[in-house]
């Protein structure tokens, strides 16, 4: 099993590889998390390589600005060519669990609005079947109890991420205990529950490219 230092090194390598995909002068979408932090730092060392970034969180916006990268609103740009982000789990079909950092809704919007979604992970996040990592679900605060009961009916064990508020003013339920054999079906079903803002399954729109350390997943 990789040590945490080895995992960090794989994240850093994946971020360097992702940088190779960035077209000079473009506007790109940028995700959230510790892997993305390596990517933003790499972008900062090549300042001027991109025109601007659309950010998926207040956290990434702050880091981008600190490194001199202009941040623009998604509504002021057209479709993005590239979205770069991390993930919590990835299956062989490049379907993901995301939202460990709580930015899943804006991340899903940017993935949807982008032609190519490049996902950077370390090897420990690669799984055959999604579900070892608890599935984050963003929920309207007044619906927390109702949605939790609906998730229990479906065999999950939701845990409220107590004290955490998303950039959209909502709460997160982390659902334990699911082996997700059909992520597209589960994503579709959970999206129908009233009060659910976003499900951290990226299966209907998976990644296009997955970078695991310095190699691309095939």
3-state SS, residue 165: coil
Which one of residues 28, 39, 50, 102 is an interface residue with ligand 5RP (CB under 6 A)? 102
Nearer to ligand 5RP, 113 or 146 (CB): 113
Nearer to ligand 5RP, 93 or 149 (CB): 93
Nearer to ligand 5RP, 83 or 178 (CB): 83
Active site residue ranges: 107
Least distance CB 96 / ligand 5RP (angstroms): 8
Distance (Å, whole) CA 92 – CA 24: 30
Show the site string, 23-62: x = touches ligand 5RP by CB under 6 A, - = not.
--------xxxxx---------------------------
Least distance CB 168 / ligand 5RP (angstroms): 12
Distance (Å, whole) CA 77 – CA 104: 21
Distance (Å, whole) CA 39 – CA 211: 12
Burial class (CB in 10 A: 0-12, 13-18, 19+), 144: middle
Instruction: Give the binding range for ligand 5RP (CB under 6 A) out of 76-84, 99-107, 108-116, 157-165.
Output: 99-107
Structure tokens at 42: 């790499």
DSSP letter assigned to residue 194: T
Residue 15 touches ligand 5RP, criterion: CB under 6 A: no
Neighbours of 48 (CB within 10 A): 10
Instruction: Give the binding range for ligand 5RP (CB under 6 A) out of 80-88, 109-117, 180-188, 208-216.
Output: 80-88
Residue 104 touches ligand 5RP, criterion: CB under 6 A: yes
Supply φ then ψ for residue 15, to 5 degrees.
-65, -40
Which one of residues 14, 50, 87, 196 is an interface residue with ligand 5RP (CB under 6 A)? 87
State the residue for tokens 């994946």.
Answer: 14
Nearer to ligand 5RP, 80 or 103 (CB): 103
Transcribe 8-75 into DSSP letters. HHHHHHHHHHHHTTPPTT-EEEE--SHHHHHHHHHHHHTTTSSSEEEESSHHHHHHHHHTT--B--GG
Residue 103 touches ligand 5RP, criterion: CB under 6 A: yes
Nearer to ligand 5RP, 104 or 201 (CB): 104
Footprint of ligand 5RP on this chain (CB under 6 A)? 31-35, 85-88, 98-104, 107
């Amino acid at each position: 099993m990789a040590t945490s230092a080895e995992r960090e090194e794989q994240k850093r390598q994946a971020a360097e590889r992702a940088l190779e995909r960035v077209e000079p002068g473009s506007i790109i979408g940028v995700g959230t998390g510790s892997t993305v932090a390596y990517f933003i730092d790499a972008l900062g060392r090549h300042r001027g390589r991109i025109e601007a970034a659309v950010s998926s969180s207040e956290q990434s916006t702050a880091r981008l600005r600190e490194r001199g990268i202009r941040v623009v609103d998604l509504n002021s740009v057209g479709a993005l060519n590239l979205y770069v982000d991390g993930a919590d789990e990835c299956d062989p079909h490049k379907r993901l669990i995301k939202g460990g950092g709580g930015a899943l809704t804006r991340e899903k919007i940017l993935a949807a609005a982008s032609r190519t979604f490049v996902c950077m992970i370390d090897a420990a996040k690669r799984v055959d079947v999604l579900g070892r990592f608890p599935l984050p679900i963003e929920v309207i605060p007044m619906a927390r109890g109702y949605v939790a009961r609906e998730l229990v009916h479906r065999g999950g064990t939701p845990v409220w991420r107590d004290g955490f508020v998303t950039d959209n003013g909502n709460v997160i339920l982390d659902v334990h205990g699911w082996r997700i054999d059909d992520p597209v079906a589960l994503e579709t079903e959970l999206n129908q529950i009233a009060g659910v803002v976003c499900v951290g399954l990226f299966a209907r729109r998976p990644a296009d490219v997955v970078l695991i350390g310095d190699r691309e997943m095939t």
